[in-house]
Amino acid sequence: MKVCIVTVYNSTNCGSYLQAYALRYTLRQMGHEVCFLKTGVKHNRRIFFRKAIRSLKKGKFGQVRFDHRKLRNFEKALRDFPLCAMQAHSLSQQDVFVLGSDEIWNLSREDMRQAPVFWGCGLAPAAVISYAPSVNTTVQADVEKVDYVRQALADMRAISVRDSYSKALLSHYTDKEIQVLCDPTFLLPMEQYREMAGTCPYDDFILIYSAGAKFTAEDQQAIRAFAGKKQKKLVAFPHNLAWCDEQAPADPLDAVAYFSKADYVITDTFHGAALSLIFGKDFLALPRGNTKVTELLEYFDVSQLMRENAEETAAYFDGIYYDKQALTVRIGQEREKAVAYLQKALGNAASE
């Protein structure tokens, strides 16, 4: 079948790219011809130039070079993604649209509210299913601001979400079964991650994988003290954090190599925690109010890997423990559950 994925595939965000890559890989392994819908929600060059102007006004020429390299890295990686235009002729060529993943259903964000296509609107008569999108910080008041959610859910042939909060919220708007499934990044087998991995020039390092949240002076001091104790470099990826020893511009393929080689990981992002679990890393998650991170670690029964701050970094890592072998088995089970859902949902769509 021809399957079109409807997601934010082109954000200059490694996790966003990898979830799109992994879902496409899985669907292709199932024998489908797969592309991505060109929704037009993200305009990376426009975003880059806006940020560059702000940085130049502040004299941050190094930041502009850093961001430009990141943009080029993503543009290169995205060349491998086949696209489907938002035109009637192109849409009519698709058999099934798969909505997801990531937070495409986050209606607390204006850009998401203005894109009902992420809910399958305008894609009929082709079949529509969802695979593990998240509403993230959406509340009922946000849903009430739009008029398409209830009908969109009614039109879907199968519904799945990424977390229990998304399921609980959307259950107010449909009587259909909603399954909770793992993020697509967990669908990729380790062999495929190794095959797709880019390069990482560092050894003996601690990866600081951050969404750009500000680490307090106390956090920085504790992390640097821990790095000194372990004689490790601090490598910031994908944001330019001056208090780290090295800074690496985001590259979605290099990200895999950085996680694979890191001795420790400290992260405040969902996909930073996800990749740390996939690679079985000793890591510290700092949710900083990010419910996506909290839900993920609770879902895999490793909530002990979270802390509110990094001030006790050395003590944290000295006492850290989670059963990595058991987690590998659990991830395998989640992968099987997700693939079974996709096979059934796509099979039912094909027969109707």
**Structural domains of the chain in order of their starting residue, each with its CATH number:** 2-187+333-351 (3.40.50), 192-321 (3.40.50.2000)
Cβ proximity of 6 and 104 under 8 Å: yes
HSE toward the beta carbon, residue 320, CA cutoff 13 A: 22
Q: Which residue has the tokens 């993604």?
A: 81
Mapping DSSP onto H, E and C, the string for 210-276 reads CCCCCCCHHHHHHHHHHHHHHCCEEEEECCCCCCCCEECCCCHHHHHHHHHHCCEEEECCHHHHHHH
Q: Dihedrals φ, ψ of 86, to 5°?
A: -80, 60
Digit-by-digit pLDDT tens for the chain (352 residues) are: 999 999 988 877 788 889 999 999 999 999 999 999 988 766 666 665 566 667 666 777 666 676 666 667 666 767 788 889 888 888 888 999 999 888 899 999 888 888 899 999 989 778 999 999 999 889 999 999 999 999 999 999 999 999 999 999 999 999 999 999 999 999 998 889 989 888 999 999 999 998 876 789 999 999 999 999 999 999 998 888 889 999 887 788 899 999 999 999 999 999 999 999 999 999 999 998 888 899 999 999 999 999 988 988 999 999 989 999 999 999 999 999 999 999 999 988 766 6
What is the C-alpha radius of gyration for the chain, rounded to an integer number of angstroms?
Answer: 20
| CA distance linking residue 252 with residue 19, whole number of Å | 10
Q: Residue 143's beta-bridge partner residues?
A: none
**Which DSSP helix (H) or strand (E) runs through 6?**
strand 2-6
Alpha-carbon distance of 334 to 183, in angstroms, equals: 10
Phi-psi label, residue 127: left if phi above 0, alpha if psi -120 to 50, beta otherwise: beta
Q: What is the dihedral of CA 304, 307, 312, 314, to 10 degrees?
A: 50
* Residue position matching structure tokens 């992420």: 118
Alpha-carbon distance 15 to 275, whole Å? 9
Q: Are 238 and 14 in contact (CB under 8 A)?
A: yes
Apex CA 140: angle with CA 135 and CA 142, to 5°?
70
d(CA 117, CA 318): 47
